[in-house]
Structure 1
Amino acid sequence: MPKIDIVYLWVDGRDAAWQHKRHDAFLAQQTAMPSDTTHHAPYGNVAGRYRDNGELRYNLRALSRFFPDHGNIFIVTDRQVPHWLLPARDIFVVDHATLIPAGRLPVFDSGNIESYVHRIPGLSEQFIYLNDDVFFGAPVMPRNWFDPFPALPCDLARINDGMTLQPEHLAPVNGAIMAGQWLKSRYSDYVQDARLFAHAPRALCRSILYDFEVIARDVFDAVRATTFRDWRVPPVITELLPRWMCHIGLGHRIERDTLYISSGDIDAERSWQILCARFGDLPFFCINDTCDNAPDNDPRLTRVADVLQHVLPTPSLYERH
């Protein structure tokens, strides 16, 4: 079986130059189209969306431990390189400008950015795409992700049939609603599955994405017109793409015993304890930064790095020492 490449999105929200770029883009949008800033998705432009808590460093440690036979690694970012990253023959930093037309930059909406990942030069046909806050937590067996089509983890969360896009809904919910509307308008036999897809590693095929980019041109064009997350324009990759894949037989849903940690939740400590106790037995886990605009020294944020260091103490080959 050919090796499976890995794709990450990464941003360092502490970078002063990047902060100025984000600030200027927001002001420009506010000046040119004041109504657009009122359509930003909930929590879509808070510090927690862009904060670097060291997740990528530990993600590479988890990858090295649990999936050492991976293919190339591609880190998609905006003119940034992690200061600790050690160059290697199988890891590449891909700038937004390599994938996104110059007239569409800068972009701060991950749904927009991820819609281009299949265009990464040299990317393998089968690849796994992760946000840097989604980690492998147990040995990876490629056949569990591609057999032969992608396996797509679903969540316990549900949506109700007949729901409509709403500003208070989180992106996955609006994404599922939009997906159902789009698919029902094109496939008379489509039946909406109430389950959301999980915050998970996303097993994808490059050729499938290229095909879907043509089929769903209207949706791709809409998400690629965003600068910041917009509740009216949900991501394509998280809900619409996997629902379409399952409907036409190019993918299938799976259920996994996983862990979702919301760092700002009142019961986060219990989740940290579960992670420590079950690390090595969880197929994957997600650490979502929900501390929003909290300062970087907030104890809830330092806890993220402390726990990751505890469960993944061994540096990977991609780290400077």
Structure 2
Amino acid sequence: MATLSYLPMHHDPADAAPIDIVYLWVDGNDPVWRAKRQRAAAALSAREHGAMARYGNVEGRFRDNDELRYSLRALERFFPGHGHVYLVTDGQTPAWLRPSDRLTIVDHRELLPAAALPTFDSGHIESYVHRIPGLSERYFYCNDDVFFGAPLRVEDWFYPGGAFVAWSDDAPVSDENLRPDATALENACRLSQQWLRAQTGLPAYQPVFRTFAHGPRPLRKSLLQALEVQAPEMFASVRSTVFRSWDRPAIVSDFVLRWALAQGRARLRDYVQLYVSTGEAHSTAALDRLVSAQGQVDFFCLNDTTDDAQHHDPRLARVREALQQMFPEASRFER
């Protein structure tokens, strides 16, 4: 059994610095990128095919439906005092993006070892984000399908030495072994619990089998740096993937948040949140509710689950229409 060493809580002068924003973005419609993805999938071994997570290589995971454009509009509207924006991509740049001294594109080749590329697993890529040169101590990590939905107060997301986290509204995760038919996040919860239960020095630790909210992740670079030293095997595991795998941890989406709670470096907080699965039958009604509640939802996620959709699918159009209704003003990052 390993011994968990507690991190001291202190007032970091870096807390006075602006809070940076990190996005992961991919244009799954790009034919060059699609060919690379197809070659990578064809080269997988039988074991790697068997380890691929549910929805690990589906269209909705990679499709660009203009979400990033509107997420940046939401950021500018609700958090105008944010710091630098980093956009992590695989050799791609949105056609509408305006060059800005407040935004830096970080290519996978600048962040990940050459031997790890290409990878199409966001969990793999996320595990390197805290290594971005110049990244602030406090930052928000965002997938491009999450949005701030109301004016942001920093004290609602960070406190001295820590950050606030929230549970999702998803059903609880069963306390059992990993399951290949479970979602990657459900198994990530189980993997994190297994690691934490193996540590000594956590007599008060109480496992909670729930997943974390689908929203912006308030993170501290120092916590990721410390965790990378303390749990190298977890980082190595997720950094071996080409596509998302059902038996690998999720460092940013689960492990660091649960570890920070166990360390006393994170606290639970309730937020007004909304998760919309855009492929579900009720998604239009959910989008209507979201538009009518704009400015009152702390954050929301529009998860593209329309894996069978073609470019002109009305479900995709309705998502864009809802986003345009909520965020009609172009941001400084648009041409």
| TM-score when normalising by structure 2 | 0.92
Instruction: Provide the secondary structure at the position in 2 that maps to 1:65.
Output: helix
Tell me whether 1:239 sits opposite 2:254 in the alignment. yes
Cα distance in 1 between the residues matched to 2:169 and 2:93: 36
Matched residue, 1:169: 182
**C-alpha contact (below 8 Å) 1:8/1:75 kept by paired residues:** yes
Q: Deviations over 1:253-285 (max 9, x none)?
A: 111111101100111111111111111111100
Determine the C-alpha separation between the residues in 1 that align with 2:19 and 2:183.
31
After superposition, the Cα gap between the structure-2 partners of 1:245 and 1:316, relative to the gap in structure 1 and judged at 3 Å, is same
The alignment covers a number of residue pairs equal to 317
**Amino acid of the residue matched to residue 159 of structure 1?**
P
**Which deviates more from structure 2 when the two are superposed, residues 251-260 or residues 181-190?**
181-190
Tell me which residue corresponds to 1:69.
81
Contact kept in structure 2, 1:158 and 1:194, CA below 8 Å: no
- Which of the numbers 207, 217, 241 marks the counterpart of 1:226? 241
2:219 maps to 204
In the aligned structure 2, how far is the partner of 1:302 from the partner of 1:85? 21
> Secondary structure at 2:292's aligned position in 1?
helix
Distance in 2 between residues matched to 1:109 and 1:193, nearest whole Å: 26
Q: 1:27 Cα deviation (Å)? A: 1.1
Confirm or deny that 1:86 pairs with 2:98: yes
Q: 2:155 maps to which residue?
A: 143
Task: Report the counterpart of residue 130 of structure 1 in structure 2.
Answer: 142
SS at match of 2:181: coil
TM-superposed CA distance for 1:157, in Å, is 2.7
Q: 5+ unaligned residues in a row in structure 1: which ranges?
A: none
- Worse-matched range after superposition: 134-143 or 190-199: 190-199
Residue matched to 1:179: 192
- Answer yes or no: is 1:193 the counterpart of 2:208: yes
Which region of structure 1 is more displaced relative to structure 2, 123-132 or 178-187? 178-187
Superimposed CA distance per residue, residues 151-195 of structure 1 (whole angstroms, 9 cap, x where no aligned partner): 112123343553221111112111111111111011452320133
Shift of 1:38: 2.0
Is 2:129 aligned against 1:117?
yes
SS at match of 2:247: coil
One-letter amino acid matched to 2:104? F
Distance 2:227 2:168 in 1: 23
Whole-Å separation in 1 of the counterparts to 2:293 and 2:259 = 33
CA RMSD of aligned residues (A): 1.1
Partner SS for 2:279: coil
The separation in 1 between residues aligned to 2:176 and 2:195, in whole angstroms, is 14
Counterpart code for 1:38:
G
Matches within 5 A, 1:1-321: 1-29=16-44, 33-148=45-160, 149-160=162-173, 162-187=175-200, 188-189=202-203, 190-320=205-335
The residue type paired with residue 228 of structure 1 is F
Contact kept in structure 2, 1:135 and 1:285, CA below 8 Å: yes
CA contact (8 A) 2:140 2:217 kept: yes
Tell me if the contact between 2:184 and 2:247 (Cα under 8 Å) persists in the aligned partners. no
Structure 2 segments unaligned to the other structure (5+ residues): 1-15
Question: Does the 8 A contact of 2:173 with 2:211 survive in 1?
Answer: no
Distance in 1 separating the partners of 2:226 and 2:308? 39
For 1:53-93, what per-residue CA distance to the aligned partner results, in whole angstroms no more than 9, with x for missing partners? 00000001000100000000000000000010001111010
Is the contact between residue 76 and residue 95 of structure 1 (CA under 8 Å) also seen in structure 2? Answer: yes
Q: Which amino acid aligns with 1:170?
A: T
In 1: Cα distance, 2:316 partner to 2:333 partner: 24
Q: Is the 8 A contact 1:153 1:200 kept in 2?
A: no
CA distance in 2, matches of 1:210, 1:287: 30
Give the whole-Å Cα distance in 1 for the aligned partners of 2:64 and 2:19.
Answer: 26
Q: Cα deviation per residue 1:289-314 (whole Å; 9 max; x = unaligned)?
A: 01123212211111111111111110
Mapped partners of 1:245, 1:26: distance in 2: 35
Q: Which residue type is aligned with residue 13 of structure 1?
A: G
SS at match of 1:150: strand
Task: Verify the 8 A CA contact 2:192 2:249 in the aligned structure 1.
Answer: no
